[in-house]
Each structure stands twice: as structure tokens, then as C-alpha cells.
Amino acid sequence: MNWTATLAIPGLILLAAPALAQDAPKVPAAAQGTAPAAPQDPYSIYQGGIQEVVIDEGGNLYKQRVYQGLVPGRKDPLPPATKAEKVIVNRIGFEQMELFSRIFVVTSKPVTPWIYDNFIETEGKPGGIYKITMEIPGADIPNKNDRFPLVTSAFNTPVMQVDNEVTKGSVKVVISLKRKAGYLPIQSDGVVYIDVER
């Protein structure tokens, strides 16, 4: 039978009874105003050390390792935050389907965009342009050729034009309509579709 004990200094020392025969912890040199010295006894638990030992029935310490678990009340430094990978918009396209017109946006990884419209504000306003907006936080369009608008007014579709706006924190894909029309957003892996009724 093996016993496992966790030792933490400062704090309570939890040991099975046979282990009490081991040497008592030594006071570190730093606490006496001198430079710290390496512990002579490999099983000594010195100030600030947290170790895990395995004890056999004879009270012999035969395995020692750094304790990997959590210690309540101990404030370990958090690992440095990693910078989030920027989402790249690889392509913005338009496709004419039988019953609807499809606008699609291809990204470097799956995203959760915000999709909204201005239909209520535009309703009843002379000269108002209905718009559907897809906003992708943390995205960019590095290829400047992909930033040109898609002019679709010549097609049999309510979609007049598809523009994009690149800001420091996001990419907006703005769909301007000739008239108010129903639409359906669809997401599939790294592609977001907006199907607009014809």
C-alpha cells in the first residue's frame, strides 16, 4: 500500500504518521538575513515549496515530485494572454439563384457576425435606401482588390450593391437594396450567406 501526501509551506503539513520520522523542515537562509542556500536534504520542504511525496508502509519516502494541483489561497501568476488571431475576409461574392439572390462572405475561420437591417427607420422615408448589414468583429480585408463594391443593379434582383467598410475593429458588409425584401442569414463553417428574396 502506498500513501500520497501533499506538503505546503507556509501552511498545514499533511503527512501520514510514518513520515513524521523524517527530518523537520529547515528554516531558509533568506529568513535569517543571509543568501539562500540549496537544501542539503532532497526531501526537505523549504519556505514557499509545494511538493508531493509518496510514502510506503515502512515510512520511507521513495518518490518526490513538484505538486501539480491547485492550492487554495495561493495566487499563482496567470499565464500571459495570447493575442487573438485576426479573422481574414478572403472573399465577398454575389450569386444569382432561382428564387433568391445570395451574398456570401468567406472568412479564414468560423465567425459569429452581427446581422441587422434599417428597414424600420427607412420605412416611409422618401429616397431612403433599405440596407442589410453584416458586421464581423476583429476582422480585416488585407487584399485591397477585395474592398471594391459589387454593383449588381443590372441583375433581376432587389440587391443594388454590396459594399464593405473596414475599420480598426471590424469589417462591415453592407447590402443596399432597390426595395424592401425578406432575407435569410445562413452560416456554414467559414462561410456566411445572406439569401435575399427576388
> 91 and 58 in one domain?
no
pLDDT > 70: percent of the chain:
58
> 56 and 9 in one domain?
yes
**β-bridge partners, 6:** 52
Give me the CATH number covering residue 183. Answer: 2.60.40.3470
> 115 and 44 in one domain?
no
Closest to 41 measured CA to CA, from 22, 13, 21: 22
pLDDT bucket at 115, cuts 50 / 70 / 90: very high
| Domain residue limits at 37 | 2-66
Q: In the prediction, which pLDDT does 144 show? A: 87
> 156 and 92 in one domain?
yes
**What's the total number of domains in the chain?**
2
pLDDT bucket at 14, cuts 50 / 70 / 90: very low
pLDDT > 90: percent of the chain:
48
pLDDT bucket at 1, cuts 50 / 70 / 90: low
> 33 and 110 in one domain?
no
Q: In the prediction, which pLDDT does 61 show? A: 60
Largest CA distance in the chain: 93
> 100 and 62 in one domain?
no
Q: How far apart are CA 173 and CA 155, in angstroms?
A: 19
CB 164 within 8 A of CB 131: no
Does residue 91 form part of some domain? yes
Does residue 48 form part of some domain? yes
> 93 and 46 in one domain?
no
> 35 and 98 in one domain?
no
- Top-confidence residue, 12 or 194: 194
Sign, CA torsion 63/64/65/67: positive
| pLDDT tens digits for range 74-100 | 555 555 656 667 899 999 999 999 999
Distances (CA, A) of 94 to 97, 151, 157: 10, 9, 11
Q: Mean pLDDT lowest for which of 26-40, 50-64, 129-143, 159-173?
A: 26-40
| pLDDT tens digits for range 130-181 | 999 999 999 999 988 889 999 999 999 999 999 999 988 899 999 999 999 9
Q: Which three cell numbers stand for residue 60?
A: 520511507
Does residue 81 form part of some domain? no
